[in-house]
Amino acid sequence: MSEIKTIIVNRSAYADNDLEANALRAYLKEKGTFVVNLMSSPGAGKTTTLTKLINALKNEYRIGVMEADIDSDVDAISIAKNTGVKSIQLHTSGMCHLDAGMTKSGLDSIDINDLDLVFLENVGNLVCPAEFDTGASLDIMILSVPEGDDKPLKYPLVFEKCDLVIINKIDTLEYFDFNLEKCTEWIKRRNKNATIIPISAKTGQGIELVAKYFKEKIRNWKEN
Amino acid sequence: MSEIKTIIVNRSAYADNDLEANALRAYLKEKGTFVVNLMSSPGAGKTTTLTKLINALKNEYRIGVMEADIDSDVDAISIAKNTGVKSIQLHTSGMCHLDAGMTKSGLDSIDINDLDLVFLENVGNLVCPAEFDTGASLDIMILSVPEGDDKPLKYPLVFEKCDLVIINKIDTLEYFDFNLEKCTEWIKRRNKNATIIPISAKTGQGIELVAKYFKEKIRNWKEN
């Protein structure tokens, strides 16, 4: 799988990231490409979830994946191998997040002309990615059971920014002290409009619900 | 436990963090206070590990804890309640890491005159904290089994910077696809001098080994 394309993305030259993000969103609307920004802690299961989700969606949409990482291209290789979709690696040059300019560079490089849906796997980090609008059409995050149910209290911004919170690794609920009800309440306190879907990317439980959520979001986005 | 002291720490005014970190290290040596900077992803078990470790060390040392967080004081409250040692909360004003100036503010606030050992729990983040020397006498990190064995490939800097890597939640090894041998090899590739200790903070397994490691480090530090 050495044919994975890797590009280096650098901090945007634009002073106003929000302006640039809005411009990118308008451009994507015009092109008809729906971009999903996926955030989580390291090891919450972004790549495994994406793999299962893409396999549930790839008959309906032409999908691309951009895997952001500080170093390494293990995720892009894994996605390409396990889904067959177009996948590139973005190296952030040590940066802890992606901004709209970096996202635009990645999209130019993957070439969105033949893509309906692009997943952007952000750097594994609950802090900085939440502070920078990437210009994506939708922001989602994964919280995994082993991380603990108190994360909405400790990393409020990322929960406030997300349209969808996926709670992953629910197959391990019995091994960890994680209260799903309490966690839901804490997420809702930060963001009453957030959709919350518990899944196990490992067993596949809940993946169909997430796929259904995306289909609805993309349909609404196209119609509006 | 409403008596937890919370202070706001802001980005240092000093241009050169490394200079300031070295000055802080020299000052701490003079005061005889050993400061440990503890880094990890969100939810890797920093607070639980610290609680067990402090209970194993508190008869021998006068210990203080500084809990850095973007928001909330759940960790400082938990440490105070479960160990009885002096504990303060540092709020980073949204910042994703601590630098030497912020650490110094925290140390001034906790008052190190009657402390031999201070644990600084950094913001849960594998990226940014590794880029800023806090001035601590020792840097350690916790990687937890559910995060996956590939983290040394994806977040190289934090593994390079640490004297000790604690691998936590080994009681869950059978539920996750985590190869301890491979992980050790990848850590050693980044940092051949790193000490690696597998533990379960939950069951207490390995805590005595970590306590022994600290006693030795503190003894050497005092003698040199």
Q: Report, as an integer, the average pLDDT of A44-60.
A: 96
- Predicted confidence band of residue B138 (pLDDT cuts 50, 70, 90): very high
Q: Report, as an integer, the average pLDDT of A78-106.
A: 90
CA–CA gap between residue A76 and residue A79 (Å, rounded): 5
SS3 B115: coil
Q: Using the beta-carbon criterion (under 8 Å), do A42 and B147 form an inter-chain contact?
A: yes
For position B10, what pLDDT does the model report?
A: 63
Q: Using the beta-carbon criterion (under 8 Å), do A154 and B125 form an inter-chain contact?
A: no
Q: CA-CA distances (angstroms) from residue B173 to A45, B140, B206?
A: 16, 22, 14
Q: Report, as an integer, the average pLDDT of A187-206.
A: 97
Q: Using the beta-carbon criterion (under 8 Å), do A127 and B131 form an inter-chain contact?
A: no
For position A92, what pLDDT does the model report?
A: 84
Closest-CA residue to B36 (of B121, B189, B108, B138): B138
Q: Is the pLDDT of residue A71 over 80?
A: no
Tokens at residue B162, please?
């640490």
Lowest mean pLDDT among A24-28, A212-216, B128-132: B128-132
For position B69, what pLDDT does the model report?
A: 84
Q: What is the mean pLDDT of chain B?
A: 92
Lowest mean pLDDT among A108-112, B51-55, B94-98, B146-150: B94-98
CA–CA gap between residue B188 and residue B186 (Å, rounded): 5
Q: Report, as an integer, the average pLDDT of A151-157.
A: 93
For position A1, what pLDDT does the model report?
A: 42
Q: Using the beta-carbon criterion (under 8 Å), do A96 and B128 form an inter-chain contact?
A: yes
Q: Which residues of B touch A96 (CB under 8 A)?
A: 96, 125, 127-128
What residue spans define the domains of chain B? 15-223
Report for A13-17, B123-127, B189-193: range of highest mean pLDDT: B189-193
Q: Is the pLDDT of residue A99 over 80?
A: yes
The half-sphere exposure of A60 on its side-chain side, counting CA atoms within 13 A, is 13
More confidently predicted of A8 and A77: A77
Q: Is the pLDDT of residue B105 over 70?
A: yes
Q: Which residues of B touch A125 (CB under 8 A)?
A: 96, 125-128
- Cα of first residue to Cα of last residue in chain B, in angstroms, is 39
More confidently predicted of B3 and B174: B174
CA–CA gap between residue B195 and residue A57 (Å, rounded): 44
- ipTM for the whole complex: 0.87
User: Which residue does chain A place closest to B148, by CA atoms?
Assistant: A43
Instruction: Kindly tell me the number of DSSP H helices and DSSP E strands found in chain B.
Output: 8, 8
Closest-CA residue to A70 (of A102, A45, A101, A44): A102
Whole-prediction pTM value? 0.91
CA–CA gap between residue B182 and residue B191 (Å, rounded): 14
- A203 at B interface, C-beta within 8 A: no
For position B12, what pLDDT does the model report?
A: 57
Strand-pairing partners, residue B77, are: none
CA–CA gap between residue B151 and residue B149 (Å, rounded): 6
Q: Which 128-157 residues of chain B touch chain A by CB within 8 A? A: 128, 131, 144, 146-148, 150-151, 153-157
| Residue A35: CB atoms within 10 Å | 24
Q: Report, as an integer, the average pLDDT of A153-177.
A: 95
User: Which residue does chain B place closest to A40, by CA atoms?
Assistant: B42
CATH code of the domain made up of B15-223: 3.40.50.300
User: Packing angle between helix A46-57 and helix A74-83, nearest 10 degrees?
Assistant: 30
CA–CA gap between residue A158 and residue A170 (Å, rounded): 21
Answer whether A65's CB lies under 8 Å from A88's CB.
yes
Q: Report, as an integer, the average pLDDT of B189-198.
A: 97
Lowest mean pLDDT among A140-149, B81-90, B204-213: B81-90
For position B204, what pLDDT does the model report?
A: 97
Lowest mean pLDDT among B9-23, B42-56, B146-160: B9-23
- Predicted confidence band of residue A2 (pLDDT cuts 50, 70, 90): very low
For position A219, what pLDDT does the model report?
A: 97
- Predicted confidence band of residue B71 (pLDDT cuts 50, 70, 90): confident
For position B15, what pLDDT does the model report?
A: 65
For position A122, what pLDDT does the model report?
A: 95
For position A11, what pLDDT does the model report?
A: 60
User: Which residue does chain A place closest to B147, by CA atoms?
Assistant: A43
User: Packing angle between helix A207-223 and helix A46-57, nearest 10 degrees?
Assistant: 70
Of B42, B125, B146, the CB nearest to A151: B42
Q: What are phi and psi of A116, to 5 degrees?
A: -95, -30
For position B135, what pLDDT does the model report?
A: 97
